[in-house]
A and B are shown apart, each in its own frame.
Chain A
């Protein structure tokens, strides 16, 4: 029951965030269009470079943590989202 209320709450609040939705649709559409082209495994030398990884680098962990304390925004970066600490 609580889960249903939570999901309804999410849907209700997402409806209110019109700007976010527009951005999201554009992004999804753009990515789906480009995903038709597949790069073969043997062509991924540059993509597999360690600096090309699509996540925050390990050395940024503490930096991301202090940003979660000193700034209101958090999340969508692999760092804290507000739980586990008395941060914002």
Chain B
């Protein structure tokens, strides 16, 4: 307990020193925090593929594409205050989430985890809006800000708000920041079709969706729906709490070490509660009999991509604890090597009470090849241990309280390689209408995960000054 008290003690002591030093600073010149309106356009195209889709219980195609656009407008309201408005739209097409309802493939009776379905869940649009307001003190040694956030997609709505305060002192060599954010999110849950339909039909396999549809056992034989050995999900209740709330508190500390080096540390404390599992994601148990819909001849190839026309009925959706406590600790160290090279490094240690521990390390070396062009080669390594509740397809057992086959919660490591190029024109000679181009950047990143998932992302960004 004593050690715990050391952190706030050091923090408060530092703040008192900061207060005394800021009172001594002279007020000779007050520069505007932001001179003119700035507009940022950022777009990206993301593509991924893999063989461990969580919607189909840890096997199946993870093919997904996403096109996203983000517009950020920063408006100086006066010398001290800046209003920032951010709107982001992200539209995705996903083979795996299309298999929420795999039974509607055109031209075939039933789908499989390995082919894309054409249901409503195949695509979705995520919208996010954020407004933030910041105020800087006359001596620019204190900054506070507040923000409001709203996000929406077809099965998820989020309202968020937060605030932060930053103190600069020691001739602006040292910076301390605190911030807090709250997200009050709500699921509009969508479930795997067979589970939803089974409950809708009052657990009667002869009515509703299952009426007239043959259910096969592991041998490919049609079962007697009125018999004693029939398919039924483990649970007959799905989501009973639609909320998913996140409370985060962040502490940051930055320090200039010398004329060429500076470092910063970030500590986040995050508490989540509510329905933290995804209602879309199926689980299959190793200790329960398997049942299928589709072509009996494909059952023996079920876990291979040769299976195009048989689908295994889910045992349940994933179930995870209704609370999660996360603690990431990050560090950045940037070093100005010379006029051409800068080294940007980042490291993060992360742990949570679901049993996951991870390490992230990244290095980026900006290379100024001319006054206007900079290259950005980068490499990132990531590793994590599995959540206590993760097991692959058919390896969870029905006696567990919590279970998932989502490979995002599995044990893996990942390598990411990136390369970008940035054009900068401090005189903003190029312009469209009243928007004068300050910089433009194109970046490509390739990501490889040891589970077999691979992805690529291309980002294009423009920064304009509004005259």
| Bound: A3/B187 CA distance, A | 24
Alpha-carbon distance between A62 and B41 when the two chains are bound, in angstroms: 12
- Asked if B160 and A84 sit within 8 Å, CB to CB, the answer is yes
- Selected A-B contacts with CB under 8 Å, 12 pairs: A19-B349, A24-B7, A35-B173, A51-B344, A62-B457, A65-B68, A73-B350, A75-B268, A75-B270, A81-B248, A81-B270, A86-B155
Q: Which of B434-456 contact A (CB under 8 A)?
A: 441, 443, 445, 447, 449, 453, 455
CA distance A41 to B245 in the complex (A): 43
The residue on A at minimum CB distance from B156 is A86
Q: How far is the CA of A64 from the CA of B409 in the complex (A)?
A: 17
Pick from B246, B258, B360, B447: contact of A73, CB below 8 A: B360
* Contact pick for A25, options B3, B158, B187, CB 8 Å: B3
Across the interface, A83 reaches (CB within 8 A) one of B185, B187, B342, B376, namely B185
CA A74 – CA B239 in complex, angstroms? 25
Contact B256 A62 (CB under 8 A): no
What's the interface size class on A, roughly?
Answer: 35 or more
Say whether B174 faces chain A, with CB atoms less than 8 Å apart. yes
Which of chain A's residues 62-86 have a Cβ closer than 8 Å to chain B? 62-63, 65-67, 69-78, 81-86
Of B173, B182, B272, B354, the residue contacting A39 (CB under 8 A) is B173
B268 close to A81 (CB less than 8 A): yes
- The stretch among B103-111, B194-202, B213-221, B323-331 that forms the contact with chain A is B323-331
In the complex the two chains form, is B183's CB within 8 Å of A76's CB?
Answer: no
Q: Given the complex, which residues of A lie within 8 Å of B155, measured CB to CB?
A: 86
Interface size class of B (residues with CB under 8 A): 35 or more
Cβ-based interface call for A28 (8 A)? yes
- In the complex, the answer to whether B349 meets A61 with C-beta atoms within 8 Å is no
B330 A59 Cβ-Cβ under 8 A: no
Q: For the complex of A and B, list the 3 residue pairs with the smallest distance between their C-beta atoms, beginning with the closest.
A: A83-B183, A76-B330, A83-B246
**For residue A62, which residues in chain B have a CB less than 8 angstroms away from its CB?**
42, 44, 46, 68, 70, 457, 459
**Distance between B246 CB and nearest chain A CB, rounded to angstroms:** 3
A49:B457 contact, CB within 8 angstroms: no
In the complex, what distance in Å separates the CA atom of A86 from the CA atom of B352?
A: 18
* B266 engages A71 (CB within 8 Å): no
Contacts A59-B441, A73-B360 given; indicate if A47 touches B348 (C-beta within 8 A): no
Smallest CB–CB gap between A59 and chain B, Å?
5
Of the residues A31, A44, A72, A78, contact of B255 by C-beta under 8 Å: A31
Complex: chain B residue closest to A50, CB-CB: B424
Q: A52 interface residue, CB < 8 Å from B? A: yes
A40 to B270, CA, bound (A): 37
The residue in chain A whose Cβ has the minimal distance to the Cβ of B453 is A70
In chain A, positions 6-21 with a C-beta closer than 8 Å to chain B are 6, 9-11, 13-15, 17, 19-21
When chains A and B are docked, how far (Å) is the Cα of A54 from the Cα of B336? Answer: 12
What is the CB-to-nearest-CB distance from B256 to chain A, in angstroms, rounded to a whole number?
5
- Inter-chain contacts of A31 with B (CB < 8 A): 253, 255, 263, 265
Cβ contacts B357-370/A at 8 Å (1 or 0 each): 01010000010000
| Contact, CB under 8 Å: A75 / B248 | yes
A70: nearest residue on chain B (CB-CB)?
B408
B residues less than 8 Å from A10 (CB atoms): 249, 269, 271, 325
Whether B272 and A47, one on each chain, are in contact in the complex, defined by CB atoms closer than 8 angstroms, is no
Answer whether residue B351 sits at the interface, using C-beta atoms and an 8 A cutoff. yes
Contact (Cβ within 8 A) A46 B366: no
B461 on the interface (CB 8 Å rule)? yes
Name the interface residues of B254-268: CB closer than 8 Å to any CB of A: 254-260, 262-268
How close is B86's CB to chain A, nearest CB, in angstroms?
10
Known: A39-B259, A63-B457, A81-B326. Contact between A72 and B409, CB under 8 A?
A: yes
Give the distance in Å from the alpha carbon of A20 to the alpha carbon of B265 in the complex: 13
In the complex, the chain A residue whose C-beta lies closest to that of B330 is A76
Cβ contact within 8 Å between B181 and A81: yes
A70 vs B229: C-alpha distance in the bound complex, in angstroms?
Answer: 38
Minimum Cβ distance to chain A for residue B391 (Å): 15
